[in-house]
């Protein structure tokens, strides 16, 4: 700035000397000039003067504009939401804008030549030194960023993000933004997530334990109930045989009810025992040929197939890793339901299988009475939607199917339209069992 002013003064002096010299020459010269010539020269001088005044005005305007844009820049610099710092190679503050100074709660001029590290929490200082080294490293070159916990003059801590570029090997500029809010939100989110994770894990352990306890209870209860129930059933049957027509009519009806009730209870207990047995053994999944499973099931259901004149067909069926016995049980329950819930038409049941990216999907399609798709609870224990007198059963068959499929890490669902038939689907993972087990354990 001082240099500019000197130069202007020098130019002004030169111009003054030149003008004086010209005037002197013109005075000598003017003595020889006519009045016309003098008038002409005077006119030219006037034009020249106006020209100079215009130039002067332009210069003045340019200077004002320059001043304005300089003010604008310095306002932008000082009041920007980001703190701007210039550091030397030792991390001393060379320059700082007002925002930067106010973030540290220190007057701007008091920050100059101070080491920035005193405003960094002690355990974060190494991060800053490393950041500095990376910025000034000639091979590093580009923009560097880091996150630090800073501490202002009053001892308040806040998180900041630093973004730095080297100005020279001796100096670098840094923009510092306050990221406390986002950092705290991030931390709160992480904490909430961790807490949720712990709670889910605790809940899973608790659920697994209570499930195991319940299964154990169901098994023991149904197992222990079997014996006294067998006794009741046997003796009421004996009662019915010996005393039929010997007591009055009501007694015969009552005895029939007891026989029927105890037989049903026996069936239910058998099914419950079957249900609670699934999953208690170690998983042994071997290559299972579903064509063979289908054949086995049709042999088991031979009587029911013949009585109903059911037509069972199937697409080519795959070999999948599974528990063979449980697959027989699963198919048998689905196929026997497809026959049991038949309509007036000849039961036509078709089994298909196809592979998706990760799974094998099986379907059992029938042309029976169908069921409303809103009865989504049919896979729960004892859920039945058709009268027992017409369609006997305990309401455990589909619950067993679901437990078997769950045990194989698959899914089971159905599609149906009342009066048109139903299709039951289930999936089995196509991956090797050990691989699935690993992913399931990883998720825990
Ligand atoms: P159950 O056959 O002993 O009644 P399930 O658990 O096998 O018990 O089936 C539950 C209920 O789901 C049945 O009572 C019936 O209402 C319905 N259901 C199952 N399979 C079919 C089917 N193929 N067509 C129509 N309804 C069915």
Separation of CA 216 and ligand 1 centre (Å)? 26
Per-residue pLDDT of 200-235, as tens digits, reads: 999 888 888 877 777 777 777 777 888 888 888 888
Separation of CA 291 and ligand 1 centre (Å)? 24
Tokens of 43: 């006119």
Tokens of 383: 């859920």
State the Cα–Cα distance between residues 18 and 110, nearest whole angstrom. Answer: 51
Q: Would you place residue 4 in the very low, low, confident or very high pLDDT band (cuts 50, 70, 90)?
A: low
pLDDT (mean) for 184-194: 93
Residues with CB under 6 A from ligand 1: 333, 337-338, 341, 366, 368-371, 378, 383-386, 393-399, 422
Give the whole-number percent of the chain exceeding pLDDT 90. 53
Q: Name the nearest CA neighbour of 113 among 142, 90, 138, 129.
A: 90
Where do the H-state alpha helices sit in 244-350? 249-277, 290-300, 302-308, 324-340
**What atom of ligand 1 comes closest to residue 421's alpha carbon?**
24
Sign of CA dihedral 225, 228, 232, 237: positive
pLDDT (mean) for 313-319: 95
Nearest residue (CA) to ligand 1, atom 20: 337
Residue 429, strand partner residues:
359
| Mutational test site, ligand 1, from 312, 365, 397, max ligand atoms within 8 Å of CB | 397
| Mutational test site, ligand 1, from 268, 341, 377, max ligand atoms within 8 Å of CB | 341
Per-residue pLDDT of 78-131, as tens digits, reads: 888 899 999 999 999 999 999 999 999 999 999 999 999 999 999 999 999 999
Q: Would you place residue 13 in the very low, low, confident or very high pLDDT band (cuts 50, 70, 90)?
A: confident
Tokens of 115: 């080491």
H or E stretch at 444:
none
pLDDT (mean) for 137-141: 70
């Amino acid at each position: 700035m001082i240099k500019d002013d000197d130069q202007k003064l020098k130019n002004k002096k030169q111009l003054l000397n030149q003008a004086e010299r010209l005037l002197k020459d013109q005075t000598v010269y003017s003595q020889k000039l006519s009045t016309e010539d003098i008038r002409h020269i005077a006119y030219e001088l006037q034009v020249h003067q106006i020209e100079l005044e215009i130039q002067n005005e332009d210069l003045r305007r340019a200077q004002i504009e320059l001043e304005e844009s300089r003010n604008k820049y310095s306002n932008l610099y000082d009041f920007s939401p980001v703190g701007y710092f210039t550091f030397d190679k030792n991390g001393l503050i060379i320059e700082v804008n007002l925002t930067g100074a106010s973030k540290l709660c220190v007057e701007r001029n008091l920050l100059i030549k101070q080491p920035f590290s005193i405003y960094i929490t002690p355990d974060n200082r190494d991060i800053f030194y490393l950041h500095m080294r990376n910025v000034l490293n000639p091979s590093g070159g580009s923009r560097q960023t880091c996150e630090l916990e800073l501490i202002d003059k009053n001892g308040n801590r806040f998180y900041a993000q630093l973004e730095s570029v080297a100005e020279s090997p001796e100096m670098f500029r840094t923009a510092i933004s306050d990221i406390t809010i986002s950092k705290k939100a991030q931390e709160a989110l992480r904490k909430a997530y961790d807490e949720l994770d712990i709670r889910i894990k605790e809940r899973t352990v608790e659920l697994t334990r209570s499930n195991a306890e319940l299964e154990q209870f169901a098994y023991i209860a149904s197992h222990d109930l079997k014996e006294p129930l067998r006794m009741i059933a046997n003796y009421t049957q004996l009662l019915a045989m010996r005393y039929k027509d010997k007591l009055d009519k009501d007694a015969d009806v009552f005895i029939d009810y007891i026989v029927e009730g105890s037989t049903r209870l026996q069936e239910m207990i058998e099914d419950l025992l079957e249900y609670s047995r699934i999953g208690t053994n170690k998983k042994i999944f071997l290559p299972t040929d579903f064509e063979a499973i289908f054949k086995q099931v049709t042999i088991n259901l031979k009587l029911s197939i013949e009585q109903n004149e059911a037509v069972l067909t199937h697409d080519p069926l795959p070999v999948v890793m599974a528990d063979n016995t449980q697959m027989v049980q699963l198919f048998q329950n689905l196929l026997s339901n497809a026959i049991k819930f038949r309509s007036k038409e000849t039961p036509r049941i078709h089994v298909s299988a196809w592979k998706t990216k990760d799974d094998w999907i099986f379907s059992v399609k029938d042309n029976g009475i169908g069921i409303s798709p809103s009865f989504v609870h049919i896979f729960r224990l004892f859920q039945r939607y058709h009268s027992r007198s017409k369609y006997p059963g305990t309401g455990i068959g589909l619950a067993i199917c679901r437990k078997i499929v769950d045990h194989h890490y698959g899914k089971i669902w159905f599609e149906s339209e009342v009066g048109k038939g139903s299709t039951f689907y289930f999936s089995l993972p196509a991956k090797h069992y050990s691989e699935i087990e690993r992913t399931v354990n990883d998720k825990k």
